[in-house]
Structure 1
Amino acid sequence: MRDAVTTRSALVMLGVLLLQLGFALSYMGAFHAPEPHKVPITLVAPPAVEREMVARLDALPGDPLQVTPVADRAEARERLLDRRTDAALVVDPARRTDTLLVASAGGPSATTAATEILQEVARAQNRTIVVRDLRAPSAGDSRGLSSFYLVLSWTIGGYLAASALNMAAGSKKPTLRRTLVRLAAMLPYGFVSGIGGAIIVGPVLDCLPGAFWELVGIGTLVVFASGAVGVALQSVAGTVGLGLTILIFTILGNPSSGGVYPSSLLPPFWSAIGQALPPGAGTTVVRNTVYFDGNATTGALWILGAWAFGGVVVAILAAALREGRKRRGPRTDTAAAAAV
C-alpha cells in the first residue's frame, strides 16, 4: 500500500484537489450573481435635458451606469463602434420615444444589462425606448461567445503542448538547449493552431466569418504566449508549474475574460484581473478584430506580447541559471578536495 501511494503522489493529488476546488470557486464566484456596475453608456440629449438625465442615471442605486454625454448621434455612434461605450441613448424631448443604439457583437450581456436598466428608467417617466443594434453577432455566433471559446481552445492547447514536451522528456527540468528547442517548437505549433482555429470558426462553422489571416496571427500569438508561460513555469517549478499555468489561464483567466460576462458585470476581483490575463486580452482582440475593424485592440495585443516575452525570458533565465549552478558544483568539489 505504501508503495502504491507515495508521499509525492499524495501531494500531487492534493494539488489536483486544490485546482478542482479553485475551478469551482472561481467560475461560480464570477458567474453566480452578475450585477451591472458602471456599464459605460453615452447620452445624446439637448442641453436643457442633458444635465437632468445624467443626474438621474448617475443616481441609480448601485451605480449600474457610467454616463458620458456627447454632442450628437454621430459621435455616439462612433464611440459605440470604437468600443468606448456599450450603448448610446439618444433622447428626443419632442416625442415620447427615445432610441438606444447598441452593438451586441461586443457582448450581448452588457447590451442586455444596459437595455433593461434604461427601459426601466424610461417606464418610470412614461416613455418608451426603441433599440437599434448597429453591430449584431453573425448568424453562427448568435450568443456572441465564439470569440471566447476560440481563445479558450488556443490557451489550453498552448500550455498542454508545453506540458506534453515536458512529459516526453520525463518531466525533468530542461537544459538551456532543450528550453530553446521547446520555445522554438511553440512557434510552428501556434501557427498551425491559429490556422486550425480560423478554419473551424470560418469556413467550417461560419461563427466568425472574415478576418481569416488576422485570426491566424492572433491565434499564433495566443498559443505561443500560453505555451511560453507553460515552458517557463515548468522550467522553474517542474510538475507544479503545470498547475500554476492552469491556475493562471483556466481558473483565473477564463471566468474573468469578459467572454461570458464583461468586466462591468463581474465582481471586483475578476473585473480587475480579466484584461491583464491572456484569455481576456485574446478574447478582446478576436472579438474587436472580427466585428469592429480592430478598434480598441492595441492594449490587449501588448498584454499578449508581454506574456509571451515574459515566458521566453523566464524560461531561458531559469535554464541558464540551473546550468550555471551545475557547472560551478563540480569545480567547488574539486577545489575542496585539493585543499584537503
Structure 2
Amino acid sequence: MRRIIGLVVGVALLGMVFAGSFLGAFHAPEPHGVPVAVVAPAGQVRQLQSGIDGRRPGAFTLSPYGSAEAARAALLEREVDAVLVPGEGRLVVASAGGRTGATVITAAFQGAAQAQGRTLEVEDAVPLPPGDAGGIAGMFYVLSVLLPGIALAVLLARVAPGLGAAARTGVLAAGSLVAGTAVAWLADVVFGALPGSFVPLVAVSSGIALAVGLVVAGLVKVIGPPGVGVAALLFVPIGLPASGGPLGARYIPEWYAAVGRVLPVGPAAEAVRNTVFFGGAALWTPVGVLALWALLGLVLLALPGRRARPAPAAPRTPVAV
C-alpha cells in the first residue's frame, strides 16, 4: 500500500513540475529589455526611451544608430530585435526571430505613434516561411532532435553496456548524424517549415543530438538509470519553458530566462533559428553552450562507471552424511 501511495504522490508531483514550469513561464508573457535600434540622434532616442518607459517600464532598450543601413545590419546580425526609423515613420521587424516578439514590438510602437497622431509603417525584413506561418516549428523541431539523442544514449547503454568511451562516442556521433539528417530533411524538403539551409541545418541538428546524447550517456554511466530521469527533467519540463519556447526568452520571467541560457534547449533553438533564417549569424554563443554540454558528457564518460552490486550468495544446502 505504501508503494502505491508513493507512486500516486510521485506522479502528482511530476505533473506539478510540468504545470508549474510551463505555466510559470508562459501564463503572463511580458517583454524585458527587448533591444531596438533607433535611427535618430542620441537626444531624441533618450526622449523616446523615456516615453516608452512611461508606458511599459523596462520593456524595451533603445539604442541610437547613425543610419538605417547600419541598424538593419544589426537586426540581421541578431544584435537587435527591431529597427525604428522615426523620420520615415517606419518600423522594421524580423518575425522569423520570433513571431510573438515581432507582434509585441509592433503593437507597442504603433500604439505610441497613434498616441502622437502619427502612423507607423511596418516592414518584416525576415518573414517566416509559408510552411510555418505560426512560428512554432522551430521549438518542436528542437524537441525532435533532442529526443533521438536521449533515446540513442539510453538504448546504447542497454544494447552494448560494455562499450568503451571512445566507441560509445563514435556510435553516438554516427547516430546523431543520421537523426539530424532525417529530421532536417523532413523540416526543410518535405514540410518547408525550416527551408533553404539543409546542409547547415543537418550540421547544427546533429551537434545538438550529439551534445545531449553524450550528457545522457555520461550520466547513465556514472549514476545509472536515474541519470536518464535527471537529464529528461533538465531538458524538457525545465529546459523547454526556460528557453522561452515559441515566445522567446525576452518574454518570460528574467530569472527563468537566465536558467534557460545555460541549458541546452534554449541555445539549440537559437542555433537552429539563426542558421536557417539569419545566415548563421550570432552562432558562437549558442554553439559554445552546446559544446560545453558535450564536453561535460565526454568527461562523465571518462570517469569510472558505477559498480554493480555483487549478487547475494546462494544459501548452501547442508549435505546429508
- 1:62/1:289 CA distance change after superposition, 3 Å: same
Task: Give CA deviations for 1:23-56 in whole Å, capped at 9, x if unaligned.
Answer: 1211111111101111111111256633322322
Which residue number in structure 1 is paired with residue 33 of structure 2?
38
Which residue number in structure 2 is paired with residue 99 of structure 1?
90
Q: State the one-letter code of the partner of 1:130.
A: E
Identity %: 35
Which residue number in structure 2 is paired with residue 192 of structure 1?
178
Alignment of structure 1 residues 103-114 onto 2, 5 Å = 103-114=94-105
Query: Residue 225 in 1 paired to residue 211 in 2?
Result: yes
Q: Measure, in 1, the Cα distance between the counterparts of 2:9 and 2:302.
A: 30
Q: State the one-letter code of the partner of 1:98.
A: G
In the TM superposition, residue 164 of structure 1 has moved relative to its aligned partner by 2.1
Query: Residue 162 in 1 paired to residue 148 in 2?
Result: no
Task: Give CA deviations for 1:242-267 in whole Å, capped at 9, x if unaligned.
Answer: 11111111011111223411111001
Normalised by the length of structure 1, the TM-score is: 0.84
Secondary structure of 1:296's counterpart equals: coil
Q: State the one-letter code of the partner of 2:47.
A: E
Task: Give CA deviations for 1:5-36 in whole Å, capped at 9, x if unaligned.
Answer: 8x6x9767765543332112111111111011
Task: Check whether the contact 1:107–1:259 (CA below 8 A) recurs between aligned residues.
Answer: no
Q: State the one-letter code of the partner of 1:182.
A: R
Secondary structure of 1:41's counterpart equals: strand
1:119 equivalent among 101, 110, 113? 110
Which residue number in structure 1 is paired with residue 319 of structure 2?
none
Secondary structure of 2:298's counterpart equals: helix
Secondary structure of 1:67's counterpart equals: strand
Q: Measure, in 2, the Cα distance between the counterparts of 1:11 and 1:183.
A: 37
Q: State the one-letter code of the partner of 2:149.
A: G
Task: Check whether the contact 1:229–1:310 (CA below 8 A) recurs between aligned residues.
Answer: yes
- 1:47/1:253 CA distance change after superposition, 3 Å: closer
Moved more, 16-25 or 237-246: 16-25
1:18 equivalent among 13, 20, 24? 13
Which residue number in structure 2 is paired with residue 55 of structure 1?
50
Which residue number in structure 1 is paired with residue 251 of structure 2?
265
Q: Measure, in 2, the Cα distance between the counterparts of 1:138 and 1:39.
A: 23
- 1:159/1:275 CA distance change after superposition, 3 Å: same
1:139 equivalent among 130, 135, 155? 130
Secondary structure of 1:255's counterpart equals: helix
Q: Measure, in 2, the Cα distance between the counterparts of 1:286 and 1:111.
A: 18
Moved more, 39-48 or 135-144: 39-48
Which residue number in structure 2 is paired with residue 244 of structure 1?
230
Give the alignment's Cα RMSD to 1 decimal.
2.4
The answer for unaligned runs of 5 or more in structure 2 is: 311-321
Query: Residue 80 in 1 paired to residue 75 in 2?
Result: yes
Task: Check whether the contact 2:49–2:61 (CA below 8 A) recurs between aligned residues.
Answer: no
Task: Check whether the contact 2:22–2:241 (CA below 8 A) recurs between aligned residues.
Answer: yes
Secondary structure of 1:272's counterpart equals: helix
The answer for unaligned runs of 5 or more in structure 1 is: 327-340
Which residue number in structure 2 is paired with residue 149 of structure 1?
140
In the TM superposition, residue 166 of structure 1 has moved relative to its aligned partner by 3.2
Task: Check whether the contact 1:58–1:67 (CA below 8 A) recurs between aligned residues.
Answer: no
Task: Check whether the contact 2:89–2:119 (CA below 8 A) recurs between aligned residues.
Answer: yes
2:275 equivalent among 289, 303, 309? 289
Secondary structure of 2:90's counterpart equals: strand
Q: Measure, in 1, the Cα distance between the counterparts of 2:11 and 2:150.
A: 16
Q: Measure, in 1, the Cα distance between the counterparts of 2:42 and 2:268.
A: 40
Task: Give CA deviations for 1:69-113 in whole Å, capped at 9, x if unaligned.
Answer: 111111111111111111111012xxxx71000111111111111
- 1:114/1:137 CA distance change after superposition, 3 Å: same
